[in-house]
Amino acid sequence: MTVEATKETRGFETEAKQLLHLMIHSLYSNKEIFLRELISNASDAADKLRFEALHNGELYENDPELKITVEFDKEAKTVTISDNGIGMNRDEVIENLGTIAKSGTSQFLSTLSGDQKKDSQLIGQFGVGFYSSFIVAERVEVFSRRAGAPASEGVHWESQGEADYSIESVDKESRGTTVVLHLQAEQEEFADGYRLRSVIKKYSDHISIPVVMLKDEPPAPPAAESEAEGDAEKTEEAPKAPEFESINSATALWTRSRSDVSDEEYKEFYKHISHDFAEPMKWSHNRVEGKLDYTSLLFIPSKAPFDLYNRDTSRGLKLYIQRTYIMDDAEQFLPMYLRFIKGVIDSNDLSLNVSREILQKDPNIDSIRSALTKRVLDTLDKLAKKDGDAYLGFWKEFGEVMKEGPAEDFSNKEKIAGLFRFASTQEATDEQKQSLDGYLERMKDEQEKIFYVVADNYNTAKSSPHLEVFRKKGIEVLLLSDRVDEWLMGHLTEYKGKSFQDVSKGELDLGKLDTEEEKKEQEKVEEEFKDFAERMKESLKDDVAEVRITHRLTDSPACLVIAADDMGAQMRRLMEQAGQAMPETMPTIEINPNHPLLQKMDQEQDEDRFSDLAKVVFDQASLAEGGSLKDPAAYVHRLNKLLLELSS
């Protein structure tokens, strides 16, 4: 087969073309990050070769010294980044360079606003690695061969970053990958040794393998005439081999003492391992010695990735054993609700047989997982106490994921709950800023429970008729409106000895918050309107399980109450939207006999008219809590009929 026969032209995916176009047209103000991304990819390739070579030393091909080489050509206007890492075969080149991302691209594009400054921050969250090369290059070539494959299985990939790319087979003697950037005319500043060196030192000094460039040699001094005459009689010397020098420190950053690592170095290392363009919010660097011996460097991102809510996406820490790279996504070291944490763990105590099954059964994994989880939670707790505004920024990005914690991590349930933030009736805003500790401090002396209400959105929650008696008595209620909230409260039943109470479920019992006089008055009203409640139940017998006199309402005529053990309205709607068949349940309707509408109903002699009024009150109570009507047309008909009667 000839080389030409294997050449083909392929089109980028539509979404990839859109994203490339956005990047190429001056989206980044800081163009030099392309070099950091390409060096980071080369470093990953070297790590992967080290791992595979643990089981097959022949992959080194008599070239065990791993390095990344950066070269430039001023005349050709090119910058070349080469590595002797694992390399790629044809299928891997198509998979890795033919698409920008395996998931999240559509979601990313849907959030773009057209504002270049804002959109550049979004691109940073998305992370595009190799494709940042098109920020400075008008054309990019990639030459690659997988370690262990014959020279004839080299691959040449080329694109101008527009609609398509070409790929063909070539001979490549050395393993690894070479990326050649043909610079745009206005980006020729990067075809310069000093410029490239400064960028490498700035962004990639922490890379654990050498990043090398040709050594700059001073020009030779002019020779004397007598020496020049003698030179003609001398034989020419063989040209000197090019001499390379390492630009970076080539020391794994996590192995260094914390006092020797600057904040800037931590930030750049985070960007290296996460491919995130934004800086981390916080980090924790620790060395543990004793029963277990390991080093961890954990980062809390400042922005959530686009695939945060995809629980099936790859996640976890970079795992090293005795400085040897093992795997990228070691998910066993942190629970699922902390899947946004990035970082590195380097252990001396784990077996090199690191199949997933072995890791899950290793008791040392459980010990390290427990310690790292506690470290992350402690770091977040310190941030919340030291810088409340910064912590609220974290909560906006990752709060919903943290709410998965109580169900997944029973041993840390209370510590996790202490990090939660909620909206509440304490504030006239939808911002989730109230902690449970703050709620406990503000509780009334006689209050025995933490009260909350769950709704589909903040406005529905704050306007819930179930809050009326709490407002009257000045009792704070937490307003929960995230999709995960009702599920969360099924697992978070108490906090620091105080149980939680959903104010929309079961019979309301305020305990000592109700005086003896109020309780006697409630009993008196119940007896007085007992017959009215029975009459209303007859009208609503197909819709409600019970009609009872309310102690919750002060302004509204009625509200719907779910049985204490039944699934809440929010969860029920979510399950139905997901296609789950839900069993039929009937709510209880609580009525406020002091409301003028109900007092007027009590005097109504026409049973048909009374029934219409009862059903309108029921439907309005359903709408007030964010529900939908079983028969909207019937509701409109009854309401119009009553309005016409009033106007006649």
Domains and CATH numbers, the chain: 4-214 (3.30.565.10), 253-386 (3.30.230.80), 422-503 (3.40.50.11260), 522-647 (1.20.120.790)
**How far is CA 551 from each of CA 504, 569, 625, 627, rounded to the nearest angstrom?**
12, 21, 17, 22
Higher pLDDT, 495 or 638: 495
Q: How far apart are CA 625 and CA 644, in angstroms?
A: 27
Kindly tell me if the per-residue pLDDT of 518 is higher than 90: no
The 10 Å Cβ neighbour count of residue 527 is 10
- Tell me, what's the pLDDT at 221? 57
29-58 average pLDDT score: 86
Exposed, middle or buried, 19 (CB in 10 Å: 0-12/13-18/19+)? buried
Are 622 and 560 contacting, i.e. CB atoms less than 8 angstroms apart?
yes
* Cβ-Cβ contacts under 8 Å for 641 (sequence gap 6 or more): 612
**Sign of the torsion formed by the C-alpha atoms of 39, 325, 336 and 265:** negative
Task: Grade residue 319 by pLDDT with cuts at 50, 70 and 90.
Answer: confident
529-554 average pLDDT score: 90
CA-closest candidate to residue 398, choices 378, 420, 383: 420
Are 285 and 258 contacting, i.e. CB atoms less than 8 angstroms apart?
yes
Q: How far apart are CA 599 and CA 615, in angstroms?
A: 16
- Tell me, what's the pLDDT at 104? 43
Kindly tell me if the per-residue pLDDT of 592 is higher than 70: yes
The lowest-confidence range among 75-89, 98-112, 246-260 is 98-112
Whole-structure pTM value:
0.73
64-78 average pLDDT score: 95
- Tell me, what's the pLDDT at 568? 73
Q: How far apart are CA 604 and CA 610, in angstroms?
A: 6
- Tell me, what's the pLDDT at 125? 44
Coil/strand/helix, residue 308? coil
- DSSP-assigned beta bridge partners for residue 50: none
The answer for 168, left when phi > 0, alpha when psi is -120 to 50, beta otherwise, is: beta
Kindly tell me if the per-residue pLDDT of 114 is higher than 60: no
Q: How far apart are CA 308 and CA 337, in angstroms?
A: 10
The 10 Å Cβ neighbour count of residue 396 is 13
The dihedrals phi and psi of 214, each to the nearest 5 degrees, come to: -60, 135
* Cβ-Cβ contacts under 8 Å for 527 (sequence gap 6 or more): none
Are 147 and 176 contacting, i.e. CB atoms less than 8 angstroms apart?
yes
Coil/strand/helix, residue 363? helix
Kindly tell me if the per-residue pLDDT of 120 is higher than 80: no
361-377 average pLDDT score: 90
Are 556 and 467 contacting, i.e. CB atoms less than 8 angstroms apart?
no
Kindly tell me if the per-residue pLDDT of 131 is higher than 50: yes
Quote the percentage of the chain above a pLDDT of 70: 85
**pLDDT tens, position by position, 423-452:** 999 888 889 999 999 999 999 988 999 999
**pLDDT tens, position by position, 525-539:** 889 889 999 999 999
* Cβ-Cβ contacts under 8 Å for 278 (sequence gap 6 or more): 121, 124, 125, 301, 302, 303
27-52 average pLDDT score: 83
Kindly tell me if the per-residue pLDDT of 386 is higher than 60: yes
The 10 Å Cβ neighbour count of residue 353 is 9
The 10 Å Cβ neighbour count of residue 482 is 19
Kindly tell me if the per-residue pLDDT of 102 is higher than 50: no
Are 208 and 272 contacting, i.e. CB atoms less than 8 angstroms apart?
no
- Tell me, what's the pLDDT at 69? 96
56-73 average pLDDT score: 94
Kindly tell me if the per-residue pLDDT of 53 is higher than 60: yes
CA-closest candidate to residue 116, choices 224, 175, 28: 28
* Cβ-Cβ contacts under 8 Å for 179 (sequence gap 6 or more): 38, 80, 81, 82, 130, 133, 140, 141, 142
Are 614 and 539 contacting, i.e. CB atoms less than 8 angstroms apart?
yes
CA angle 313, 315, 316 (to 5 degrees): 165
Residue with tokens 């029963």: 291
Kind and range of the H or E run holding 562: none
Kindly tell me if the per-residue pLDDT of 233 is higher than 60: no
Lookup: tokens for 270: 């985070």
579-603 average pLDDT score: 86
Quote the percentage of the chain above a pLDDT of 90: 48
- Tell me, what's the pLDDT at 37? 83
Amino acid sitting at position 30: N
The DSSP-derived string for 378-425 is: HHHHHHHHH-HHHHHHHHHHHHHHHTTHHHH-GGGHHHHHTT--BEET
The lowest-confidence range among 288-302, 351-365, 557-571 is 351-365
Q: What is the mean pLDDT of the chain?
A: 84
Q: How far apart are CA 302 and CA 33, in angstroms?
A: 19
Which parts of 415-571 are beta strand (E)? 423-424, 449-454, 478-480, 494-495, 498-502, 546-549, 558-561
Kindly tell me if the per-residue pLDDT of 353 is higher than 80: no
Kindly tell me if the per-residue pLDDT of 572 is higher than 90: no
Are 453 and 467 contacting, i.e. CB atoms less than 8 angstroms apart?
yes
